[in-house]
Structure 1
Amino acid sequence: MPTIPFFKPVIDEDTIARVSEVLRSGWLTTGSVCEEFETAFAKYVGAKHAVSVNSATAALHLCMASLNLKPGDEVITTPYTFVATAEVIEYFNAKPVFVDIREDTMNIDEGKIEKAITSKTRAIVPVHFAGQPCEMDEILAIAKKHGLPVFEDAAHVTPAYYKGRPIGSISNGACFSFYANKCITTGEGGMLTTDDDELAAKFRILRLHGLSRDAIDRYQSKGSWQYDVIAQGYKYNLTDIAAAIGIGQLAQADRFWEERKRVVKTYRELLGNKDDIQMIEELEHNQSSWHIFPIRFKNHADQKRDELIQKINAKGISTSVHFIPIHTFTYYREKYGYKPGDFPNAYNAFRRLITLPVYPGLKDEGVEYICGTILEDLQ
């Protein structure tokens, strides 16, 4: 019986050599390698600025910090995302206002956003679920009408394209994740992209304690030990060690993407015509990164879905569920009084969904084994 992990990163010898070079350099934390990674990433997504951080959560937090949120302010987002998207809003005692998802793409329903806007709304945070872009033209038009910034949760992206435009170059800012199982990885890490000079400068200050100078400027022979604290900041900087991994990963991002698309194509061919299985639609004007590949069962919800996952896992296949809707968590239910059915599309998707393995090293025969197992267990 084969064993198929949910995800397995691809780290080549060139990347290992880059990390070794950093380890031997004598400078391990944020420095010239981070700058190199930032420059390469900004070019890759077509953004003017890229600011490296130690997680996508940190990137989202810095976006919220740039808004000067106050208690009672509101930020619109989706309940169908990892909790970090809402968590960073809560940091400021502001309120995440959820808008239900579309059934076809599982992204935020752009047609319902405007009804959620109030006098307290300060921003919109769309999440590109599974790596498929949200309907950004509509979202940006709504935001412009109401004078709101848009910050994208692009944790599932690298790369993805909306009407030919790369995600990372469209809104006020986009937040990327380089967590261990993401499209490209630095182990832990993230990136913030923006075309706004002032915003980029603010992000750089906030990511390291609000200091006026980075460590490399203070500790190298040509630098100065003097610095000032000019804002309330955080400890969110990325290390040169992680950036070295990122440079190696970014160089292979397109190849990784082609491999993930191959895996998804095979899933679609083998599972796409089955009555009990519903797949995410990839809209014609979108190109998804396919960070993950979730499927929904029409006749297997709740306990039946969980039993099916157990059967699949017992045959050596690791799966997951993306996501548990945020409004169903105890903290959010108790604080805001949410009920599971308040966002029916999100809740119904969660009840019937499993996420299948997608990664560059997953061979066609592995995908065929996964699909065969699912179809056998559905009978």
Structure 2
Amino acid sequence: MIPYGRQWITDEDIASVVDVLTSDFLTQGPAVGRFEDSIKAACNIPHAIAVNSATSALHIACLGLGLEPGKRLWTSPNSFVASSNVGLLCGAEVNFVDIDLDTLCMCPDKLAQALAEAEAAGTLPHIVIPVHFGGQSCDMKAIHALSQKYGFHIIEDASHAIGASYDGGPVGDCRYSDACVFSFHPVKIVTTAEGGVVTTASGDLATRLDLLRSHGVTRQPDLMTREGDGPWYYQQVELGLNYRITDMQAALGASQMTRLTEFVDIRHARAEAYDAAFADMAVRIQKREAENRSALHLYPIHLAEDGPDRAALRRRLFEFLREHGVGVNVHYIPIHTQPYYQGLGFREGQFPNAEHYYAGALSLPLHPQLSDADQAHVIAMVRDGLKEIGQG
């Protein structure tokens, strides 16, 4: 089976982890700082805080920006549940903003409409989390302009987008946000096995995030409420969590980051081959803006067929491809249709673009170890599969 995503681990990556295993540090040691420095350099940002998952990164970013009961978080329904779950974990109310069917990212026009309605109702969000779906940045200039008008914070969920660029700079530089979050799960562009990072331009926010990831405990004298009892002394000054990343993970991440440009370049070459092959097929592909380079974590397609049988046709195509060795996947089941969220009062039909995309969506194999022969097989099977379901 050709997987839709796969890590690429080299001898150098393995050696970096072995070096940690034979050192004095396994958890919080010098490799964490090296990994954070690699992110800061790649994103042209002064602060990067590494944690044990992107979910943890989103959670502490929300906490650091003051999300709490009585406040609201808005995000995209076309995402993994973590993007909204972190709001609920903070005790906040969660809502969604529908996507644009071309970019598959949060639609600025729909956000503007929702904000105008929320202002009239007195229910404006405290935080908005745009999701850079598939590695393509949302329209951050438009979303940032709305934040200036309506007074909300922005956390970019860039779990798919390490190595992407927007408006002439790297995603993660936080020119249009308070913070940006990356994921380093094995199917992502760079991996630490499990791990996440928050970037921010704010020194005050970075200090708070550093506390939140490690129990709210500090040994820094300038953060303590009184002089310490001795060199062993520490204080808990926040209610924090144990979200620390290990030195083993960080060493792997720092090694992987040396090949970030190579990873993204290979993905672009593969995506361009897909683009050319699918130009005459009955599928739609995600719009990618030439001036804003996607990191191409995913290559999503969706059926051009808009009829009532769209979901059934997608299932037949999914099963055909799996039967023929193509490990397609589906990203994502709209969050508001999940049973837990239905229990909170959400219902199908509220965010029709996300639902429409999902009904016809497939994510095709895309990763640096995808061979020419494997990609040719994927393309041939998509073509044959479309014919099989009467869409060829």
Q: Which residue of 2 aligns with 1:151?
A: 155
After TM superposition, give the deviation of residue 57 of structure 1 in Å: 0.5
Q: Which residue of 2 aligns with 1:247?
A: 254
Q: Is the 8 A contact 1:272 1:279 kept in 2?
A: no
State whether structure 2 residue 300 is matched by structure 1 residue 272: no
Q: Distance in 2 between matches of 1:8 and 1:107?
A: 24
Q: Any stretches of 5+ residues in structure 1 without a counterpart?
A: 215-222
After TM superposition, give the deviation of residue 82 of structure 1 in Å: 0.5
Q: Distance in 1 between matches of 2:231 and 2:149?
A: 46
Alignment of 1:229-248 (within 5 A): 229-248=236-255
- TM-score, with structure 2 as normaliser: 0.91
State whether structure 2 residue 291 is matched by structure 1 residue 285: yes
Q: Distance in 2 between matches of 1:213 and 1:234?
A: 16
State whether structure 2 residue 137 is matched by structure 1 residue 130: no
After TM superposition, give the deviation of residue 56 of structure 1 in Å: 0.7
After TM superposition, give the deviation of residue 146 of structure 1 in Å: 1.8
> Would the alpha carbon gap of residues 358 and 224 (structure 1) be closer, same or farther in structure 2, given more than 3 Å must change?
farther
Q: Which secondary structure does the structure 2 equivalent of 1:37 belong to?
A: helix
After TM superposition, give the deviation of residue 93 of structure 1 in Å: 2.3
Q: Which residue of 1 aligns with 2:264?
A: 257
Q: Distance in 1 between matches of 2:112 and 2:386?
A: 40
Q: Distance in 2 between matches of 1:285 and 1:191?
A: 25
Q: Is the 8 A contact 2:6 2:367 kept in 1?
A: yes
After TM superposition, give the deviation of residue 225 of structure 1 in Å: 2.5
Q: Distance in 2 between matches of 1:239 and 1:81?
A: 27
Question: In the alignment, which of 362, 367, 371 is matched to residue 354 of structure 1?
Answer: 362
Compute the RMSD of aligned alpha carbons.
1.4
Structure 1 stretches of 4+ with a deviation exceeding 4 A read none
The count of residues paired between Structure 1 and Structure 2 equals 367
State whether structure 2 residue 178 is matched by structure 1 residue 172: yes
After TM superposition, give the deviation of residue 154 of structure 1 in Å: 0.5
Percent identity of the aligned residues? Answer: 34
Larger mean CA deviation between 24-33 and 113-122 belongs to: 113-122
Q: Which amino acid aligns with 2:347?
A: K
After TM superposition, give the deviation of residue 63 of structure 1 in Å: 1.2
Question: In the alignment, which of 194, 206, 211 is matched to residue 200 of structure 2?
Answer: 194
Q: Which residue of 2 aligns with 1:217?
A: none
Q: Is the 8 A contact 1:63 1:173 kept in 2?
A: yes
Alignment of 1:42-81 (within 5 A): 42-81=40-79
Q: Which amino acid aligns with 2:359?
A: R
Q: Which amino acid aligns with 1:122?
A: H
Q: Which secondary structure does the structure 2 equivalent of 1:335 belong to?
A: coil
Q: Which secondary structure does the structure 2 equivalent of 1:96 belong to?
A: strand
Q: Which secondary structure does the structure 2 equivalent of 1:286 belong to?
A: coil
After TM superposition, give the deviation of residue 303 of structure 1 in Å: 2.1
Larger mean CA deviation between 307-316 and 117-126 belongs to: 117-126
Q: Which secondary structure does the structure 2 equivalent of 1:141 belong to?
A: helix
Q: Distance in 1 between matches of 2:198 and 2:179?
A: 7
Q: Which secondary structure does the structure 2 equivalent of 1:76 belong to?
A: strand
Q: Which amino acid aligns with 1:281?
A: K
Question: In the alignment, which of 160, 165, 178 is matched to residue 164 of structure 2?
Answer: 160
Q: Distance in 2 between matches of 1:271 and 1:361?
A: 21
Q: Which amino acid aligns with 2:52?
A: N
Q: Which secondary structure does the structure 2 equivalent of 1:302 belong to?
A: helix
Q: Is the 8 A contact 2:67 2:127 kept in 1?
A: no
Q: Which secondary structure does the structure 1 equivalent of 2:22 belong to?
A: helix
- TM-score, with structure 1 as normaliser: 0.94
